[in-house]
Structure 1
Amino acid sequence: MATVGDFVLKRLAAWGVKRIYGYPGDGINGVIGAFGHGDTGIEFVQARHEELAAFMACAHAKFSGEVGVCLATSGPGAIHLLNGLYDAKMDHQPVVAIVGQQSRMALGGDYQQEVDLMSLFKDVAHEFVQMATTPEQVRHLIDRAMRIAIERRTVTCVILPNDLQEMKAVETPPREHGTVHSGIGYTGHAVTPRHEDLQRAAALLNTGKKVAILAGAGALHATDALIAVADKLGAGIAKALLGKAAVPDALPYVTGAIGLLGTKPSWDLMNECDTLLMVGSAFPYSEFLPKEGKARGVQIDIDARMLNLRYPMKVCLTGDSAATLEALLPLLEQKTDRSWRERVEKNVREWWQVLEARAMNEARPLNPQRVFWELSPRLPDNAILTCDSGSCASWYARDLKIRPGMSASLSGGLATMGSALPYALAAKCVHPERPVIAMLGDGAMQMLGVNALITLAHLWRQWADPRMVIMVLNNGDLNMVTWEQRITEGDAKLPASQDLPTFPYAAYAELLGLRGIRVNHPDQVAEAWETALASPVPTLLEMVTDPDVPPLPPHVSPKQAVHYLRALLRGDPDATGIVTATIKEVWDGLFPGR
């Protein structure tokens, strides 16, 4: 007898699902058991924690373009999914959560592990969350969860009581009043705006003398079209953090990241432009966009709800970014005055000199910027990069030069800690033939990473290319929060909240059968990267870095400077080190290489 659990897997497979990330428990036993009832066509990947499973499902969606699916038991298992699901929701990734529940008869009886899952998931999966109560429901619940996740690029959830999972499946609901008869398949929207709207956008862009483009995650597949439009308009291109791989950094007019973790050329681009073209980005920080009224704007986004949200635009175009830019291109006039483009390129050249000078500054013992600077020219072709939240995201955003064919992502909207390593694991599951590099701090490593390494040690022999590097910045400090306390609050570092326990990251990797390399001298950094990237075994690089090197914003406001001085006057325990490091950073910004 085929059970509801069997049917759930069969229906998901019919939708094209190849992999489910999860953790078992009695509340979801009926579905877990179905994996053993024959070839389902779906691989079950056991994570060490449900939060890791949800992160992996989000990353699966990011790196495959498919729906990510995660699975958890009732009660605590379901609760643990939430952080990873919010990561997917806020980065607009299609993820379906299959969650167990106590038996229907027990509900409302204050039963063990009974949690009101409909209420629990009503925010993160507000587009669609439903609990099945009869086998006849399950077909349309799975169908709608998949279709809505794809259509809305969001999280959906199906809750399955454990007694229902064991019941006889009903593949075809009865043809009677009150039943729902759904089907498989999804057809997308028209992907280009109306011609008259394209003409209005082109007219505005053609009159701009200083055009800036901001590319986000929605433009990752629009690389060629972005380059063609930028060349025609003589524009510079800045990138939101999730759009880092949208255009290669070798292009002389690509200014790099924008925002607090961004570059000075991007800051200048936004403050000096007279026209802004925003493509596939929900970049939230208005203080890093042009001053309102100074630039006229055109925005392209597949989701009309995100239009005219971050900056008051003159023309908004709803459509796929690549298709819209390609339709727009013939309407654009070739800019003959290249003075704006030349200024942008000059700023970019000088900025790379600044970054190199800063990366080569001495530190105690390693300068974290050098760790990323040395990786950049050694990145393998077709590499996938994942990064965690924290100060490592600053160096990832600024120092790494993305080349064509590479993929990169992190937790953008949620900016949660702990995502880099599960992202990397999912990327390797999706693309076992590609080299993967995860970059994270010691805070994220202690939070979830040490557990995720166990999954890595279990899985890596299945991969066609075993190259996977986990780079940990070991500075003994929750570094980004420490700097935020100083710069935004004017408070000195509080060791009780910021210092981390000592942990032997490289040695721990060796215990798991992986390779571990500990680096504590600047002359060892380049060689360590080369060794790790050539290793036939996944390798953890423990980079012992200096927490006093400041992740300076592209523009330091007077308020930030006052807060910094106040933190020093309040007796910051690292005052001498951070003053010395900050002076070097500022000097290199003014006189790179001198």
Structure 2
Amino acid sequence: MAETVGDYVLRRLREWGVEQVFAYPGDGINGIVAAFGEADDRPRFIQSRHEEMSAFEAVGYAKFSGRVGVCMATSGPGAIHLLNGLYDAKLDHVPVVAIVGQTERSAMGGAYQQEVDLQSLFKDVASEFLVEVNVPEQLPNAIDRAFRTAMTRRAPTAIIIPSDLQTESYSPPGHAFKEVPSSPPGLAAPTMVPPESEIARAAAVLNAGRKVAILVGQGARAAAMEVEQVADVLGAGVAKALLGKDVLSDELPFVTGSIGLLGTRPSYEMMRDCDTLLMVGTNFPYTQFLPGLDQARAVQIDLDGTLIGMRYPVEVPLVGDARSTLQALLPRLSGPTDRAWRETIEGNVSGWWDTMQREAMVDADPINPMRIVWELSERIPLNAIVTSDSGSAANWYARHLRIRGDIRGSLSGTLATMGPAVPYAIGAKFAHPDRPAIAITGDGAMQMNGMAELLTIARYADRWSDRRLVVCVLHNNDLNQVTWELRAMGGAPKFEESQVLPDVSYADFARGLGLEAITVRTPDELGPAWDRVLAADRPAVLDVHCDPEVPPIPPHATFDQARSAARAVLTGDPEAFHLVTQGIKTKIQEALPGRKG
């Protein structure tokens, strides 16, 4: 039989090394779906429960594999559903290729069923590359540019293929006028080093510093060893943007942890007191958590020059990849002989982890949510992949999960959308089927889409050599982060009609799907429950009933935030007494003897 356009699309994906496509079927992609059957499911068609989940799974796969994630959806509503996941990829700089169907060419412009102007729909989210293919000869160049652009620009791209074209015979572009050829798939990662004169200028700024702070993001991941060496030479501390949480081990005594609203006190104090700032591979957005604008001299390294100087006045901008640039910089660095700054940072870090343990062990009703992540951190496999949802779960992930060994972790860092933790973990399992994955999610996100994706987990678990995928649900029947934002930012009491969630047993639901499932209602059950799910031979759900009134207050909360929260209490918050009690019990841990620095 002649090769169809659908057949060719899958052949080209295989040539790009694509092993699975996260997708949901529909008649707008019937020609490609049929091609999967003819190709013996190569690449594999991974069916989610919703197209948005397909996009999130592709993002999770890309984040944890370092390769391009591919998602697919039908025309009209299917394509629309992809958008949230693709925006997550765009804002977190993740390479994803979306392939979407379109109504037949003969019906275009005729207000046909499910006809949507997909080029207008995708022109922002796939602004780096978006193409509609209308003849077979376009295909090689369209697919290859989508992949090369996604990889080079670290962005989502999209290819629109009308449904009738998918079943036509494929014919390659010729050596002819207005036909565009392509090249064999493949692209090496770029290596860029700034000019030697700029390296010298940067070294002069850093060497002059006596209190150097380093901030790393996900762009520094391939340069972890070099960041550690630079920090040692300069006597610096290293803070981590949330997307860079897994760049350096938290066992290093000078790593101050996360920064920002979900950050740590040592990171806050280091930025407050430093005189020099080195930023590597980060686009951390919250300027107020960086040094004062006239306080520190700054050097920034980023592969994308358009992102340099956006968040802080930079004296020396270095456009280059983090590893090569730091390697060029290291021989020119000479740190201070006085290590008092470094010793202060290390003392603060040590004291902070002691404080975090005390806060996690504060009694709550029924369980302190901090303790959920602390107990995980005490026993997590050193090759685990951890995903977190947005909301209060992200607070505990950011502050209490201690990165070490080969642990990887991520969340929706910039879009901060609800719902990606479970599909991210599914994508991670397809990237690394031999490693355990752990999704930390709130019950709001679990009800939004996580429960449905438990079906996807149950369906595909036998494809993973290590079947451990643990979904830990912070079960408090409250849309907790927004509840606290109402209190702290708006000075408004909790509005129960918008915030309270219907109660459901996530463990019972999971058990009905054949998954391991445990309900935890007391603190003493928590550690053994983690031991059990981490030793299970199948995916598991840990349904932990926890206290919604444990405050996710930053360690550097402002007076205005505290005053707003107090006003919320005084104006009739339904949990006023309990939340005040929990706040006092938690925050007093920071003032207990033993805190260093």
Same fold, TM-score > 0.5, yes or no? yes
Q: Which residue of 1 aligns with 2:554?
A: 553
1: CA distance between counterparts of 2:477 and 2:181? Answer: 57
> Contact 1:9 / 1:40 at 8 angstroms: preserved in 2?
no
2: CA distance between counterparts of 1:532 and 1:189? Answer: 41
Q: Which residue of 2 aligns with 1:367?
A: 368
> Does structure 1 residue 492 correspond to structure 2 residue 493?
yes
Q: Which residue of 1 aligns with 2:347?
A: 346
- Residue 99 of structure 2 aligns to a residue whose secondary structure is strand
Give me the TM-score of the superposition, normalised by structure 2: 0.98
Q: Which residue of 2 aligns with 1:181?
A: 181
Q: Which residue of 2 aligns with 1:23?
A: 24
2: CA distance between counterparts of 1:103 and 1:580? Answer: 63
Matching residue's letter, 1:428: K
Q: Which residue of 2 aligns with 1:155?
A: 156
Deviations 1:108-153 (A, max 9, x none): 0000000000000000001111111111111211111111111111
State the superposition RMSD in angstroms: 1.1
> Contact 1:354 / 1:592 at 8 angstroms: preserved in 2?
no
> Contact 1:357 / 1:592 at 8 angstroms: preserved in 2?
no
Shift, 1:40, TM fit: 6.4
Q: Which residue of 2 aligns with 1:272?
A: 273
> Does structure 1 residue 99 correspond to structure 2 residue 100?
yes
2: CA distance between counterparts of 1:265 and 1:187? Answer: 38
Matching residue's letter, 1:107: M
Shift, 1:334, TM fit: 3.6
- Residue 376 of structure 2 aligns to a residue whose secondary structure is helix
Deviations 1:491-533 (A, max 9, x none): 1000000000011101110000001100010111111111110
2: CA distance between counterparts of 1:246 and 1:392? Answer: 20
2: CA distance between counterparts of 1:592 and 1:178? Answer: 76
Matching residue's letter, 1:340: W
2: CA distance between counterparts of 1:176 and 1:466? Answer: 52
Matching residue's letter, 1:175: H
Change (3 A) 1:592 1:114: farther
Counterparts in 2 of 1:72-151, with a 5 A limit? 72-151=73-152
Q: Which residue of 2 aligns with 1:477?
A: 478
Q: Which residue of 1 aligns with 2:255?
A: 254
Deviations 1:519-572 (A, max 9, x none): 010111111111110011211001100000001112121211221121112100
Deviations 1:207-265 (A, max 9, x none): 10000000111112221111111011000010010101110001111111100000111
> Contact 1:247 / 1:404 at 8 angstroms: preserved in 2?
no
2: CA distance between counterparts of 1:593 and 1:276? Answer: 29
2: CA distance between counterparts of 1:106 and 1:388? Answer: 41
> Contact 1:385 / 1:437 at 8 angstroms: preserved in 2?
yes
Change (3 A) 1:388 1:224: same
1: CA distance between counterparts of 2:555 and 2:229? Answer: 28
Shift, 1:586, TM fit: 1.9
Give me the TM-score of the superposition, normalised by structure 1: 0.98
2: CA distance between counterparts of 1:19 and 1:66? Answer: 12
Q: Which residue of 2 aligns with 1:47?
A: 48
> Contact 2:234 / 2:335 at 8 angstroms: preserved in 1?
yes
> Contact 2:374 / 2:401 at 8 angstroms: preserved in 1?
yes
2: CA distance between counterparts of 1:532 and 1:68? Answer: 28
Change (3 A) 1:352 1:188: closer
Deviations 1:333-356 (A, max 9, x none): 143210000110111111111111
> Contact 1:365 / 1:546 at 8 angstroms: preserved in 2?
yes
2: CA distance between counterparts of 1:592 and 1:155? Answer: 50
> Contact 2:191 / 2:324 at 8 angstroms: preserved in 1?
no
- Residue 37 of structure 2 aligns to a residue whose secondary structure is coil
Matching residue's letter, 1:226: V
Counterparts in 2 of 1:201-240, with a 5 A limit? 201-240=202-241
> Contact 2:434 / 2:465 at 8 angstroms: preserved in 1?
yes
2: CA distance between counterparts of 1:113 and 1:593? Answer: 64
1: CA distance between counterparts of 2:193 and 2:436? Answer: 35
> Contact 1:192 / 1:323 at 8 angstroms: preserved in 2?
yes
> Contact 2:75 / 2:114 at 8 angstroms: preserved in 1?
yes
Deviations 1:172-212 (A, max 9, x none): 21222111111133244332212111111111000100000
2: CA distance between counterparts of 1:199 and 1:381? Answer: 39
- Residue 385 of structure 1 aligns to a residue whose secondary structure is strand
Q: Which moved more, 1:460-469 or 1:521-530?
A: 460-469
- Residue 35 of structure 1 aligns to a residue whose secondary structure is helix
> Does structure 1 residue 508 correspond to structure 2 residue 506?
no
Matching residue's letter, 1:287: Q
Matching residue's letter, 2:161: L
2: CA distance between counterparts of 1:69 and 1:405? Answer: 25
Matching residue's letter, 2:183: G
Matching residue's letter, 1:182: S
Q: Which residue of 2 aligns with 1:293?
A: 294
Change (3 A) 1:7 1:592: farther
- Residue 36 of structure 1 aligns to a residue whose secondary structure is helix
Paired positions, count: 593
> Contact 1:236 / 1:253 at 8 angstroms: preserved in 2?
yes
Q: Which residue of 1 aligns with 2:427?
A: 426
Identity %: 55
Shift, 1:87, TM fit: 0.4
Shift, 1:78, TM fit: 0.3
Shift, 1:289, TM fit: 0.4
- Residue 220 of structure 1 aligns to a residue whose secondary structure is helix
Shift, 1:38, TM fit: 2.8
Shift, 1:308, TM fit: 0.6
Matching residue's letter, 1:29: N
- Residue 20 of structure 1 aligns to a residue whose secondary structure is strand
> Contact 1:72 / 1:81 at 8 angstroms: preserved in 2?
yes
2: CA distance between counterparts of 1:169 and 1:85? Answer: 29
Deviations 1:424-466 (A, max 9, x none): 0111111111011110000000001001100000011221111
Q: Which residue of 2 aligns with 1:541?
A: 542
> Contact 1:215 / 1:279 at 8 angstroms: preserved in 2?
yes
Matching residue's letter, 2:177: H
Matching residue's letter, 2:572: G
- Residue 568 of structure 1 aligns to a residue whose secondary structure is helix
Q: Which runs of 4+ in 1 moved over 4 A?
A: none
2: CA distance between counterparts of 1:349 and 1:175? Answer: 67
1: CA distance between counterparts of 2:191 and 2:543? Answer: 48
Shift, 1:593, TM fit: 7.5
2: CA distance between counterparts of 1:189 and 1:223? Answer: 18
Deviations 1:380-424 (A, max 9, x none): 021111110010110110011100211111111111110000000
2: CA distance between counterparts of 1:562 and 1:463? Answer: 50
1: CA distance between counterparts of 2:191 and 2:253? Answer: 34
Matching residue's letter, 2:223: A
> Contact 1:66 / 1:94 at 8 angstroms: preserved in 2?
yes
- Residue 298 of structure 1 aligns to a residue whose secondary structure is strand
Matching residue's letter, 1:327: A
Q: Which residue of 2 aligns with 1:417?
A: 418
> Contact 1:10 / 1:40 at 8 angstroms: preserved in 2?
no
Q: Which residue of 2 aligns with 1:464?
A: 465
2: CA distance between counterparts of 1:187 and 1:397? Answer: 33
2: CA distance between counterparts of 1:326 and 1:174? Answer: 45
1: CA distance between counterparts of 2:221 and 2:395? Answer: 20
Counterparts in 2 of 1:290-439, with a 5 A limit? 290-439=291-440
